[in-house]
């Protein structure tokens, strides 16, 4: 008896088979979700539908208003009073699609790199697909468009209605709608294709997870730069008039950009001009298809080679470089000095708690995604500190009353709490959840639940005194605050920091998530929803007590010290209550936590 092997699948049949299987997995995952998750999905779709209709309506009405005779007449009257102001916005409306497509292309270039990297190399099913009897190109096509599923959905739900509304406002016909569909289908291919080529090249020289971390940090730095430009636009560029704004809009229609070709093809389709439509549209589609074709050609070797490197590097044991005896002694001495410094700082704390604190502090710098979470919030805090330093508030020394000094101290204290909360979220973050599945190893160690809770509280609390001392010292020197003002702000930050750290710990132990695979999903949905409510309630009550009660001295000036003392007493009592509940409930919860 002879056996006949099944003929190998071609690329297109394999793509169809893999897409069908992917659809079945997605459908089954949707049906097996909890009812609450399904309801939230429906609500999210309704919100997106409302946003899509809103964009359509706004773009249509705005374009019609700008093309109306009454607006043109008002513009002509304004131009007589303002030299240089254009009297016809028609030419500027024609470049609006090019500007919108350019912005979206830049956003896609930033967003798709990480998505393509995760889909091509870091997805859980990549190993099985690449060893299956299907062509590598078929696997690449399916994973490539799997990474573009979310960008395509957002394009057709948000940018699509905007273009449709623009076309109806410009009185364009059906040809514009067909051209818009083709442009939206081809638009992600260029940035995603270039991103895929860069990903396949980068994975050959560095681990995929490290490349994702570096890309995340670069994206965060770019976002921080854009935020800084938006905050200091007037200082950097001065005031921008309406004519300059329109000229800047027209300069986005650069002839060598694919977004400019697509925008010109859309306008030509709306006007019914066949030759420009075929010229610009053909070039845009040809370039998009060419980039995607280059990805397919490169996928035959680069994709498989990158995956094989990724698969083999995890099994290699990296040998540490040889070090001299002096170097070893120096390193051991440095670690000993660090341990002595930590022991001196946390002298009265049990040794197991200090050991767990040291472990968390040493493992924090190993994941670059922790630093990614700090970039933009720290820039926001820095801008706030700059505004605080150059502001016009004057304390006036002894001429200020105690109430005014307390109110003036709230601003630097609130800024310190904000910046320290960012560091605390990255350092102590999800509390016990940071351990992941390794928590069960920690639970078998000779440590109690109370000691684990105490170590997590200390780690989350450490940024508050450090940030408060540094920032308040600089603020006091720059603003000329009195020693009493600085001491009051420092005490307030230390108290609020203890309360915030306790709330972070409490939410982590009440809603634990120890089975996470993605470090970005350490916090459960319930904890994430309740965190703003808990933080807002606690901070609101604390700031209201420390500033609201002293404000009552307006009605009874002779009781000023009494109201100030009552305010601080409320803050101390509220913080002690939150910390006590967190420690007692957290330790009891950890003692009763069992492996499911």
SS3 (DSSP) at 89 = coil
pLDDT reading at 577 higher than 90 = yes
Helices (H) and strands (E) in the chain, counts: 27, 0
For the residues 359-371, what does the mean pLDDT come to? 73
Residues with Cβ within 8 Å of residue 42, at least 6 apart in sequence: none
Dihedral sign, CA of 413, 419, 421, 427? negative
For the residues 274-290, what does the mean pLDDT come to? 87
Q: How does residue 240 score in pLDDT terms, banded at 50, 70 and 90?
A: very low
- Residue 77 CA to residue 80 CA, distance in Å, equals 5
For the residues 523-530, what does the mean pLDDT come to? 78
pTM over 0.85: no
User: Structural domain boundaries of the chain?
Assistant: 11-313, 350-592
Per the CB < 8 A criterion, the answer to whether 192 and 108 are in contact is yes
pLDDT reading at 383 higher than 90 = no
Nearest by Cα to 466 from 500, 497, 445: 497
Nearest by Cα to 122 from 310, 316, 366: 310
- Residue 192 CA to residue 185 CA, distance in Å, equals 12
Nearest by Cα to 148 from 186, 200, 106: 186
What is the DSSP secondary-structure string of 359-385? Answer: HHHHHGGG-THHHHHHHHHHHHHHHHH
- Tens digit of each residue's pLDDT (9 = 90 or more) over 3-48: 455 556 677 787 788 888 888 887 887 788 777 777 888 888 888 8
- Tens digit of each residue's pLDDT (9 = 90 or more) over 72-81: 777 677 667 6
The better pLDDT of the pair 436, 51 is held by 51
Q: Long-range contact list for 393-398, CB < 8 A, 24+ apart? A: 393/479, 395/479, 395/480, 395/481, 395/482, 395/485, 397/480, 397/482
The Cβ of residue 195 has, within 10 Å, a number of other Cβ atoms equal to 26
pLDDT reading at 300 higher than 90 = no
pLDDT of residue 275: 86
- CA dihedral of residues 4, 10, 12, 17 (deg, nearest 10): 30
Our CA angle for 488, 489, 493, nearest 5°, is: 120
The alpha carbon of 550 is separated from its chain's Cα centroid by a whole number of angstroms, namely 39
- Residue 337 CA to residue 339 CA, distance in Å, equals 5
- Tens digit of each residue's pLDDT (9 = 90 or more) over 157-181: 888 888 888 888 888 888 888 988 9
Distances from the Cα of 206 to the Cα of 272, 367, 478, angstroms: 50, 15, 46
Per the CB < 8 A criterion, the answer to whether 582 and 506 are in contact is yes
Q: In the chain, what is the straight-line distance between the N-terminal and C-terminal CA atoms, in Å? A: 51
- Residue 267 CA to residue 176 CA, distance in Å, equals 7
pLDDT reading at 487 higher than 90 = no
- Tens digit of each residue's pLDDT (9 = 90 or more) over 169-215: 888 888 888 988 998 888 888 888 887 777 777 777 766 666 666 66
Token code pair at residue 76: 């002509």
Output DSSP code: residue 513. -
Per the CB < 8 A criterion, the answer to whether 266 and 183 are in contact is yes
């Amino acid at each position: 008896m002879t056996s006949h092997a099944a003929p190998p699948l071609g690329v297109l049949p394999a793509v169809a088979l893999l897409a069908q299987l992917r659809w079945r997995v997605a459908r089954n995952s949707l049906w097996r979700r909890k009812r609450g998750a399904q309801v939230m999905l429906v609500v999210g779709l309704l919100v997106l539908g409302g946003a899509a209709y809103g964009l359509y309506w706004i773009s249509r009405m705005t374009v019609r208003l700008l093309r109306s005779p009454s607006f043109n007449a008002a513009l002509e009257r304004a131009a007589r009073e303002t030299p240089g102001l254009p009297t016809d916005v028609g030419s500027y409306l024609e470049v609006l699609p090019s500007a919108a497509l350019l912005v979206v292309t830049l956003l896609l270039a930033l967003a798709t790199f990480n998505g393509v990297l995760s889909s091509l190399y870091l997805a859980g099913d990549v190993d099985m697909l690449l060893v299956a009897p299907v062509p590598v190109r078929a696997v690449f096509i399916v994973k490539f468009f799997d990474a573009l599923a979310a960008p395509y959905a957002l394009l057709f739900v948000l940018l699509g209605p905007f273009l449709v509304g623009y076309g109806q406002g410009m009185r364009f016909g059906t040809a514009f709608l067909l051209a818009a569909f083709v442009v939206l289908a081809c638009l992600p291919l260029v940035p995603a294709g270039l991103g895929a080529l860069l990903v396949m090249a980068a994975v050959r020289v560095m681990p995929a997870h490290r490349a994702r971390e570096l890309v995340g940090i670069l994206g965060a730095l770019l976002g921080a730069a854009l935020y800084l430009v938006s905050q200091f636009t007037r200082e950097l560029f001065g005031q921008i008039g309406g004519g300059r704004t329109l000229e800047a809009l027209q300069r986005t229609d650069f002839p060598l950009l694919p977004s400019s070709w697509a925008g010109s093809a859309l306008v030509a389709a709306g006007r019914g001009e066949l030759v420009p439509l075929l010229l610009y549209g053909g070039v845009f589609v040809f370039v998009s298809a060419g980039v995607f074709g280059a990805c397919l050609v490169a996928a035959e070797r680069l994709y498989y080679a990158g995956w094989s490197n990724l698969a083999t590097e995890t099994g290699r044991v990296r040998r540490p470089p040889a070090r001299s005896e002096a170097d070893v002694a120096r390193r051991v001495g440095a670690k000993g000095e660090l341990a002595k410094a930590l022991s001196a700082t946390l002298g009265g704390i049990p040794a197991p708690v200090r050991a767990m604190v040291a472990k968390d502090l040493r493992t924090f710098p190993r994941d670059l995604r922790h630093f990614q979470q700090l970039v933009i919030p720290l820039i926001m805090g820095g801008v706030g500190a700059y505004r605080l330093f150059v502001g016009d508030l004057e304390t006036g020394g002894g001429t200020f009353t105690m109430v005014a000094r307390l109110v003036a101290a709230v601003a630097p204290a609130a800024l310190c709490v904000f910046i320290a909360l960012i560091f605390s979220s990255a350092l102590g973050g999800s509390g016990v959840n940071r351990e992941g599945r390794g928590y069960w190893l920690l639970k078998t160690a000779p440590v109690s639940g109370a000691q684990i809770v105490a170590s997590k509280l200390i780690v989350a609390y450490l940024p508050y005194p450090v940030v408060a001392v540094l920032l308040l010292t600089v603020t006091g020197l720059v603003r000329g605050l009195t020693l009493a003002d600085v001491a009051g702000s420092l005490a307030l930050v230390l108290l609020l920091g203890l309360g915030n750290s306790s709330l972070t710990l409490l939410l982590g132990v009440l809603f634990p998530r120890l089975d996470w695979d993605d470090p970005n999903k350490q916090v459960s949905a319930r904890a994430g929803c309740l965190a703003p409510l808990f933080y807002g309630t606690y901070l609101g009550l604390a700031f209201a007590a420390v500033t609201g009660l002293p404000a009552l001295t307006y009605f009874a000036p002779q009781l000023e010290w009494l109201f100030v003392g009552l305010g601080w007493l409320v803050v101390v009592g509220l913080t002690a209550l939150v910390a006590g509940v967190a420690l007692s409930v957290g330790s009891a919860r950890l003692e009763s936590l069992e492996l499911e």
